[in-house]
């Protein structure tokens, strides 16, 4: 008999989050939700290339459906919070403590750059999310731009502050690398690994990261290159 | 050939260690890596110096005793090979190599390249077994086992518990080891009755031992001298999730009520 007790009842739910695999499962599930979000968010925003009317109508649609908007926001914020909490705990309580004496020499055989930088791409993307919400959602007004004129808000936002546009692109390249490793990683964490499917999952994960990164970067880039003109 | 070795020397668990440089001439390409160290040790002993301590037993790649880092790779540059089976023909004259013990909080250095891996034993004791009634053996064919399951189980069972996966992992995680043990039992009918409990208990013990968590780097799989696959970790995660959600306590002390 083992000396390790298996908790029962309510304790078991707590035990799930206390276990390293349970935390990874929480990260994977919240990762799926965030993954869905970034996809929809990108597709929605790309409508800016279809002209002011389309993107402004989309903005209006989101604002008008409060009964959908707030549940979605709550689910997303909870997911981000749990994702960060689990990442923070696994990194600080487990991983950074597991090898107190570093190697004099250590080779990386197969791990990708994306995988090794998850602990950096994650927090930078997190910081970006806060900045991004302050930048466009809770928004400082631009003189002469109506609050519901999403199109011109974006154009002004990036034209007035090219540094912001550049930060958007850097953060989204990091988001792309986060997804490059994260998407395949979540399948593995949830127990999906099979010689027939895993190569496809890995390819899909890279492709997904690339598409999200390029899609999101295209908007600030188009503003900087004046492909998207102001209409005011 | 002549090699320069930088070897981690540490007198005891509580004393600080350091890299020491050794000039090793007269190495034959037919030697194994450990034989090459034997030659160095012979010379150190003759000089009245302390020989380099490293663990070894079978020297044929099956016991799991040997293992240290060579230039930052567990068991050295040759894939799928324990250091006892690594031959000097893979090195060339003038090479300078760095030998260090496997490093992890859970694997304290005992001396030089020798580490204490009893954390692995405690994980096995927590659930890495099947309970069987001893007595006369049952008929060999009474339990049909699918060939594919038997093969996958045998592949997982080829883990020799050397700790290379922990050493290679940037998080010093022991998930590949634990998942191999969980898989080789869980893929067979004999492993089913204790399958849920095994996943919960072995993983709880793993956490007690201060190993890190898996972030799916894949370094363990690449470094494993026995080719244990990451697929086993996915299976372990499945077993854990299922057990965490569905495991039931024994309702009574057992037996006829
Ligand atoms: C907000 C700040 C964020 C932080 C601090 C963060 C941090 C991390 C860390 C440390 C990991 C574990 C690395 C690993 O397992 O290799 C991870 C995994 C992951 N992240 Fe994030 N991340 C953040 C945002 C995001 C966002 C916005 C998304 C999705 C769009 C995302 C999706 C994922 C996925 C899918 C995984 C893989 C989960 C798994 O291994 O099962 N993360 N994140
Ligand atoms: S000494 Fe037994 S595996 Fe190397």
Give residue-wise pLDDT tens across range A64-91: 888 889 999 999 999 999 999 999 999 9
What tens digit of pLDDT does each residue of A40-55 get?
Answer: 999 999 999 999 999 9
Domain A20-224 listed as CATH 1.20.1300? yes
Place of tokens 């078991």: A12
A54's tokens: 């389309």
- B105 touching A (Cβ < 8 Å): yes
What tens digit of pLDDT does each residue of B139-175 get?
Answer: 888 889 999 999 999 999 999 999 999 999 999 999 9
Last residue of a domain, one of B94, B111, B128: B111
Give burial (CB, 10 Å; 0-12/13-18/19+) of A116.
Answer: middle
- B179 touching A (Cβ < 8 Å): no
pLDDT classification of B137: cutoffs 50, 70, 90: confident
Last residue of a domain, one of B68, B86, B111: B111
Mean pLDDT across A153-176: 92
Domain that holds residue B17: 3-111
The verdict on the CB of residue B56 being under 6 Å from ligand 2 is yes
Residue B16 is part of a domain; what is its CATH number? 3.10.20.30
Residue B203 is part of a domain; what is its CATH number? 1.10.1060.10
- Nearest-Cα residue of chain A relative to residue B72: A106
- Say how many CB pairs under 8 Å bridge A and B: 154
Q: Is the pLDDT confidence value at A6 over 80? A: no
pLDDT classification of B245: cutoffs 50, 70, 90: confident
Same domain for B58 and B123, yes or no, is no
Helix (H, G, I), strand (E, B) or coil at B67: coil
Q: Is the pLDDT confidence value at B192 over 50? A: yes
What residues contact A218, with CB distance under 8 A and at least 6 apart?
A46, A49
Same domain for B94 and B216, yes or no, is no
pLDDT of residue A1: 38
- Nearest-Cα residue of chain B relative to residue A196: B231
Per DSSP, helices labelled H in A90-145 are 113-116, 118-132
What mean pLDDT value characterizes chain A? 90
B42's tokens: 């012979």
Same domain for B219 and B185, yes or no, is yes
Mean pLDDT across A100-106: 95
Per DSSP, helices labelled H in B32-82 are 33-46
Contact A175, A212 (CB under 8 A): yes
Same domain for B129 and B98, yes or no, is no
Nearest to A122 by CA among A156, A91, A162, A151: A91
Choice among A22-31, A223-232, B72-81, B112-121 with the minimum mean pLDDT: A223-232
What tens digit of pLDDT does each residue of B195-223 get?
Answer: 999 999 999 999 999 999 999 999 999 99
Q: Residue B109: what are its φ and ψ, rounded to 5°? A: -70, 130
Same domain for B97 and B129, yes or no, is no
pLDDT of residue A8: 57
Select from B19, B201, B222 the Cβ nearest to the Cβ of A104: B19
Instruction: Tell me which of B249 and B115 has the higher pLDDT.
Output: B115
Same domain for B62 and B38, yes or no, is yes
Instruction: Tell me which of A186 and A15 has the higher pLDDT.
Output: A186
Same domain for B47 and B106, yes or no, is yes
Contacts of A8 in chain B (CB under 8 A): 249
pLDDT of residue A3: 43
- Nearest-Cα residue of chain A relative to residue B128: A2
Give which of B69, B180, B205, B244 to mutate to test A binding, by max A Cβ within 10 Å: B244
pLDDT of residue A232: 72
In order, the DSSP letters of B188-203 are: SGGGSTTHHHHHHHHH
pLDDT classification of B257: cutoffs 50, 70, 90: very low
pLDDT of residue A139: 61
- Quote the percentage of chain B above a pLDDT of 70: 96
The verdict on the CB of residue B58 being under 6 Å from ligand 2 is yes
Interface confidence, given as ipTM, is 0.89
Contact A193, B234 (CB under 8 A): yes
Select from B69, B204, B208 the Cβ nearest to the Cβ of A103: B69
Q: Is the pLDDT confidence value at B224 over 60? A: yes
Cα(B141) to ligand 1 centroid in Å equals 48
Contact B81, B38 (CB under 8 A): no
Q: B216 vs A188: CB contact, 8 Å cut-off?
A: yes
Same domain for B103 and B124, yes or no, is no
Report B:11-40 residues touching A (Cβ under 8 A).
19
Q: A102 vs B236: CB contact, 8 Å cut-off?
A: no
Contact B73, B47 (CB under 8 A): no
Report the pocket of ligand 1 as residue ranges, CB < 6 Å.
A 24, 27-28, 31, 34-35, 38, 80, 83-84, 87, 91, 115, 118-119, 122-123, 125-126, 129, 178, 181-183, 185-186, 189; B 215-216
Same domain for B152 and B28, yes or no, is no
What tens digit of pLDDT does each residue of A135-150 get?
Answer: 876 666 666 778 788 8
What mean pLDDT value characterizes chain B? 94
Q: A22 vs B240: CB contact, 8 Å cut-off?
A: yes
Q: Residue B127: what are its φ and ψ, rounded to 5°? A: 175, 0
pLDDT classification of B255: cutoffs 50, 70, 90: low
Q: A15 vs B244: CB contact, 8 Å cut-off?
A: yes
Same domain for B100 and B192, yes or no, is no
Same domain for B11 and B82, yes or no, is yes
Q: A95 vs B241: CB contact, 8 Å cut-off?
A: no
What residues contact B148, with CB distance under 8 A and at least 6 apart?
none
Same domain for B87 and B159, yes or no, is no
Report B:181-200 residues touching A (Cβ under 8 A).
197, 200
pLDDT classification of B7: cutoffs 50, 70, 90: very high
Last residue of a domain, one of B56, B91, B111: B111
Q: B218 vs A191: CB contact, 8 Å cut-off?
A: no
Instruction: Tell me which of A12 and A61 has the higher pLDDT.
Output: A61
Shortest Cα–Cα distance, A204 to chain B (Å)? 16
Total number of domains constituting chain B: 2
In sequence order, what E strands does B168-237 have? Answer: none
């Amino acid at each position: 008999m083992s000396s390790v007790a298996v908790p029962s009842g309510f304790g078991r739910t707590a035990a799930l989050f206390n276990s390293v695999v349970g935390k990874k499962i929480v990260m994977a599930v919240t990762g799926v939700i965030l993954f869905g979000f970034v996809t929809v968010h990108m597709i929605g925003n790309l409508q800016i290339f279809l002209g002011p009317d389309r993107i402004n109508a989309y903005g209006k649609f989101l604002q008008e459906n409060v009964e959908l908007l707030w549940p979605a926001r709550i689910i997303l914020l909870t997911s981000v919070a749990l994702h960060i909490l689990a990442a923070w705990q696994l990194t600080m309580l487990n991983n950074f403590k597991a090898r107190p004496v570093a190697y004099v020499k250590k080779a990386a055989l197969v791990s990708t750059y994306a995988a090794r930088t998850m602990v950096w791409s994650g927090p930078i993307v997190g910081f970006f999310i806060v900045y991004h919400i302050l930048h466009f959602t809770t928004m400082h007004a631009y003189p002469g731009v109506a609050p519901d004129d999403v199109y011109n808000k974006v154009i002004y936002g990036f034209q007035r502050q090219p540094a912001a546009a550049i930060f958007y692109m850097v953060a989204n390249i990091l988001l792309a690398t986060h997804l490059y490793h994260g998407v395949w990683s979540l399948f593995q964490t949830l127990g999906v690994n099979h010689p027939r499917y895993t190569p496809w999952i890995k390819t899909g994960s890279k492709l997904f990261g690339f598409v999200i990164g390029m899609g999101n970067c295209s908007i600030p880039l188009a503003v900087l290159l004046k492909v998207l003109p102001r209409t005011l | 050939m002549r090699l320069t070795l930088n070897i981690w020397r540490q007198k005891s668990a509580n004393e600080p260690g350091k890299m020491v440089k050794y000039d090793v001439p007269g190495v034959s390409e037919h030697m194994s890596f450990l034989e090459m160290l034997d030659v160095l040790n012979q010379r150190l002993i003759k000089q009245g110096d302390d020989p380099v301590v490293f663990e070894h037993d079978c020297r044929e790649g099956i016991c799991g005793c040997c293992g240290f880092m060579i230039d930052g790779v567990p068991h050295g540059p040759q894939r799928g090979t324990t250091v006892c089976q690594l031959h000097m023909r893979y090195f060339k004259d003038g090479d300078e190599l760095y030998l260090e013990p496997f490093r992890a909080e859970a694997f304290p250095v005992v001396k030089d390249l020798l580490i204490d891996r009893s954390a692995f034993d405690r994980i096995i004791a927590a659930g890495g077994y099947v309970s069987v009634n001893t007595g006369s053996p049952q008929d060999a064919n009474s339990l049909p086992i699918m060939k594919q399951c038997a093969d996958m189980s045998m592949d997982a069972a080829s883990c020799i518990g050397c700790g290379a996966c922990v050493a290679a992992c940037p998080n010093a995680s022991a998930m590949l080891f634990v998942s191999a043990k969980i898989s080789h039992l869980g893929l067979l009918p004999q492993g089913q009755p204790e399958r849920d409990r095994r996943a919960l208990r072995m993983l709880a013990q793993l956490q007690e031992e201060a190993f890190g968590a898996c972030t799916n780097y894949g370094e363990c799989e690449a470094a494993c001298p026995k080719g244990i696959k990451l697929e086993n970790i996915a299976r372990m995660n499945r077993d854990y999730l299922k057990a965490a959600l569905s495991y039931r306590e024994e309702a009574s002390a057992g037996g006829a009520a």
